Amino acid sequence: MEKQAAGAPGGSDGAGPNRKPWGSPTSGTASGETPDSPSGSHVEWCKQLIAATISSQISGTITPEHISREHKVTHTHTHTQTHSALPALRYGAQGKMFQNQVPLLPGETIQTTMKDVMYICPFSGLVNGTLTITDYKLYFTSTEREFVLDVNLGVISRQETISVPNQGENTKGLELVCKDMRSPRFAYKTEENHPDVVELLAKHAFPLSHNLPLFAFLYKEQFPVDGWKVYDPAAEYRRQGLPNESWTISRLNSSYELCDTYPSTLVIPTNISDEDVRRVATFRAKHRIPVLSWIHPETQATIVRCGQPLVGPSDRRCKEDERFLQIIMDANAQSHKLSIFDARQSSVALTNKAKDGGFESESFYPNVELNFLEIPNIHVIRESLRKVKDVVYPTIDEAHWHSNIDQTHWLEYIRLLLAGAVKVADKLESGKTSVVVHCSDGWDRTAQLTSLSMLMLDSYYRTLRGFQVLLEKEWISFGHKFAARVGHGDENHANSERSPLFVQFIDCVWQMTRQFPAAFEFNELFLVTVLDHLYSCLFGTFLYNSEQERMDKEVQSQTASLWSYINSQPEDFTNPFYVDYQNHVIYPLVSSRHLELWSSYYARWNPRMRPQVPVHQNLKELLILRAELQRRVEELQREASSSHSLSSSEHSPSPTHTTGTPLHTAV
């Protein structure tokens, strides 16, 4: 099988007949699309931000058409939504913004409006205007120039009272510390007839802490595409060639009795009894037994995920667990070994062993090799991203930019994660060996590693729809604790469970798109949109901690899917450079010099980080041109085929002639 890392010539490590190396990215290629030229919708808002048009907004040069956000315009002064024919979150020339007019989403209602509020802009000072608070967003419009700022309330992590000098005794200051790397600040005068702004914001920014529903359950948009149908477990496993003689699709967890954080549909070895599976569950953290995530189409080597074994300080054993892993190894006739990748730092794994956790002993698991990937835990990653925010917002120290970024260690942790995923992928592809991946509980670093390695190995997951399937499968259905890690609707910002593990994963994906600009069907705007709605609570996709919780809350019937929105306008999220080469394996280069800070996401609120050349509109034009050229190619092929057929008929023998020379086709 030929394998190839980004920027490297093709190698020849165990060539397979159908799986091909991916060509190296060309220097200077526009591998990181930078959206621009806004014309409406949340998508268009992202385009503004990624293209850093904030500075033009602040300077007052933006036109009404550019003042676009993730909602429709309402042409009524009541607090109810006026329905239009435009899709949700989209509006173009019709959606011009005027002073005191607040666009609302279907189901969104205004809670209060305050005049004489000051936005304390970190770049241009005080901006006077009107502040409107709905049950979904905070919306500020300037009374001095055409400037709009809105913040969806789901992105707020906490509120802090700040001092506002020289503005009078009855003036209060408020800072909104957000999860998306910004902290807008406002000053307002307190009056008797005004509601308490802090209390009102807390009520709707943290609805679960105030016995209110998340806004996703109030959002009433109807989309032409049903995103909840994107992922069908049976169809995805069928695509992988499952079930087969070694692996079966089990319904043992159909009622979530075996493991309440696993999906109802699992793929497990055929040659193991239900009773043995139950015994294995008691030996694995959170009952998260080893289950198949992906199978190699040629070698049958597999990626298996699970929780840590509960060996404890006394080195407990479980014969059923040992046999389970032996069966996994035996299912792959290409190798007589099984590689276990423990994502944790070895020192942490030893500490967990003292707390009744632990790791597999090579003495008890024959032909198993154990590898520690030394990836830090959730607390280290949380602190690292906090340091990144300090570097990029609100001001940037240009003279010490690189050293300041280095001190956050963010790119080092990105490197460790990508390096671990490359090891997993290469063990399957080149080593033809099945792997087992786990961390402590198997829902954080495990999801990062399995999904990244599957992204490298399987070109389907690099398509727009395939990536959605990957997220639904490896992250959402397998119980990444989105509610705990993000803190949806929860005012307890200091909760130690919070950590940006999913952001780190998406950053790794972005790094891969930079190195392989033609390998991914989706663009940078898609990744930014996914992260924005990780926090927004507008869609039900990332809500709650497990499939069981989402079933109990009736998420699919009561909320809209993010994929409904994405797949209703796929052209906005499509990479025009994408080449549909199937069965190509990609290995990103993971040395520090090949990684960079994702500035167009982390520093998008800072106008000083704007790119020199906004390119999103050019990319959309390229998509149109590509489609036109493809149509022309197909026309020429038809013309050539028709011409060839005509020429053949003119020179071929008569149908009654049977002695002509036969045509030989080389095979």
Residues 133 and 250 in one domain: no
162 and 242 share a domain?
Answer: no
Q: Do the domain assignments include residue 611?
A: no
pLDDT for 371: 98
For 112, the token pair is 């209060």
Q: Which of 646, 540, 509, 448 lies closest to 218, judged by CA?
A: 540
Residues 339 and 460 in one domain: yes
In a domain, 77, yes or no: yes
Other CB atoms within 10 A of residue 215 CB:
25
Task: Quote the number of domains for the chain.
Answer: 2
Closest to 296 (Cα-Cα) out of 618, 18, 581: 18
For residue 182, say whether it is annotated as part of any ligand binding site.
no
In this predicted structure, what is the pLDDT of residue 85? Answer: 29
> The domain containing residue 115 runs over which residues?
41-45+53-217
Instruction: Please check if 354 is assigned to a binding site.
Output: yes
Give the angle 46-51-55 at the CA atoms, nearest 5°: 105
The residue from 167, 187, 217 where one domain ends is: 217
Which residues have C-beta within 8 Å of that of residue 603, sequence separation ≥ 6?
181, 392, 393, 396, 597, 609
Tell me the CB-side half-sphere exposure of residue 465, using CA atoms within 13 A: 11
352 among the known binding-site residues?
yes
Task: For residue 149, list its beta bridge partners.
Answer: 140
Nearest to 467, CA basis, from 408, 508, 424, 495:
508
Single pTM value for the model: 0.83
* 625 inside domain: no
Nearest-angstrom CA–CA distance, 162 and 130: 19
User: What are residue 565's DSSP bridge partners?
Assistant: none
Do 331 and 369 lie in a common domain? yes
Q: Is the separation of the CB atoms in 247 and 267 below 8 Å?
A: yes
Query: Are the CB atoms for 246 and 331 separated by under 8 Å?
Result: yes
**Phi and psi at residue 37, to the nearest 5°:** 55, 70
Residues in the chain, total: 667
Query: At 337, is the secondary structure helix, strand, or coil?
Result: coil
Please state, in angstroms and rounded to a whole number, the distance separating the CA atoms of residues 406 and 389: 13
Smallest CA-to-CA distance from 71 within 7, 4, 135, 145 is with: 135
Of the residues 178, 318, 439, 508, only one is catalytic, namely 439
Question: Is the domain of 210 the same as that of 245?
Answer: no
Q: In a 3-state reduction of DSSP, which class is residue 1?
A: coil
Residue 342's CB: how many other CB atoms inside 10 A?
A: 27
Query: What CATH number does residue 139 fall under?
Result: 2.30.29.30
In a domain, 119, yes or no: yes
DSSP state of 449: H
Question: Is 318 noted as a catalytic residue in this protein?
Answer: no
Predicted pLDDT at 569: 96
Count the Cβ atoms, other than its own, within 10 Å of residue 222: 10
Position 4 scores a pLDDT of 54
DSSP-derived pairing of the beta strands 338-342 and 434-438 = parallel
- Helices 501-515 and 445-457: crossing angle in degrees, nearest 10, is 20
Q: Residue 87's pLDDT is what? A: 37
Say whether 492 counts as a known binding-site residue: no
Q: Is 410 annotated as a binding residue?
A: no
185 is in an annotated binding site: no
Residues 257 and 341 in one domain: yes
What is the structure's pLDDT at 403?
A: 97
Divide the 667 residues of the chain into consecutive groups of 10 and give the mean pLDDT of each group.
50 43 39 33 47 34 32 32 36 38 96 95 92 98 93 98 83 96 94 84 98 98 98 99 98 98 99 98 99 98 99 97 98 96 97 96 96 98 98 93 97 99 98 98 99 99 99 99 99 97 99 98 97 99 99 98 98 94 94 96 86 61 80 87 72 43 32
Alpha carbons 465 and 129: distance in angstroms, whole number: 42
> Quick one: which H or E segment has residue 121?
strand 110-121
Domain assignment present for residue 606? The answer is no
CATH assignment of the domain containing 242: 3.90.190.10
Residue 530 lies in a domain: no
CB-facing half-sphere around the CA of 19: CA atoms within 13 A: 24
Q: Are 365 and 325 in contact, with CB atoms under 8 Å apart? A: yes
Write down the pLDDT at residue 166. Answer: 76
Q: How many CB atoms lie within 10 A of CB 200?
A: 16
What is the distance between the alpha carbons of residues 384 and 373, in angstroms, rounded to a whole number? 18
The pLDDT value given to residue 250: 98
Q: Is 355 annotated as a binding residue?
A: yes
Q: Answer yes or no: are the C-beta atoms of 513 and 31 closer than 8 Å.
A: yes
340 in a labelled binding site: no
Distance CA 268, CA 137 (A): 45
Residue 65's contacts (CB-CB under 8 Å, 6 or more residues apart) are 38, 39, 40, 92, 93, 96
Query: Looking at the domain assignment, is residue 461 inside a domain?
Result: yes
Last residue of a domain, one of 522, 539, 569: 522
Instruction: Give CA 30 to chain center in angstroms.
Output: 21
Looking at the structure, do residues 211 and 314 belong to the same domain, yes or no? no
Buried b vs exposed e over 6-35: b needs ≥16 C-beta within 10 Å?
beeeeeeeeebeebbbbbbbeeeeebbbbb
Structure token pair of residue 667: 């095979």
Q: Which of 170, 191, 217 is the last residue of a domain?
A: 217
**Are both 158 and 239 inside the same structural domain?**
no
Q: Are residues 81 and 212 in the same domain?
A: yes
Is the domain of 73 the same as that of 192?
yes
User: Long-range CB contacts (< 8 A, 24+ apart) of 152-155?
Assistant: 152/70, 152/535, 152/536, 152/537, 152/538, 153/201, 153/204, 153/205, 153/215, 153/537, 154/205, 154/214, 154/215, 154/488, 154/489, 154/535, 154/536, 154/537, 154/538, 155/179, 155/180, 155/532, 155/535, 155/536
Establish whether the linkage from the previous residue to 263 is cis, with ω within 30° of 0. no
pLDDT the model gives residue 615: 56
202 shares a domain with 276? no
pLDDT for 183:
97
Q: Which amino acid is present at 388?
A: V
Ligand-binding site membership of 274 (annotated):
no
Is 542 part of any domain? no
The answer to whether residues 211 and 280 belong to one domain is no
Return the HEC string of 557-619: HHCCCHHHHHHCCHHHHECCCCCCCCCEECECCCCHHHCCCCHHHHCCCCHHHCCCCCCHHHH
pLDDT for res 59: 34
Q: Smallest Cα–Cα separation from 432: which of 293, 331, 322?
A: 331
What are the E-state strand segments in 233-356? 247-250, 266-269, 291-295, 302-305, 338-342
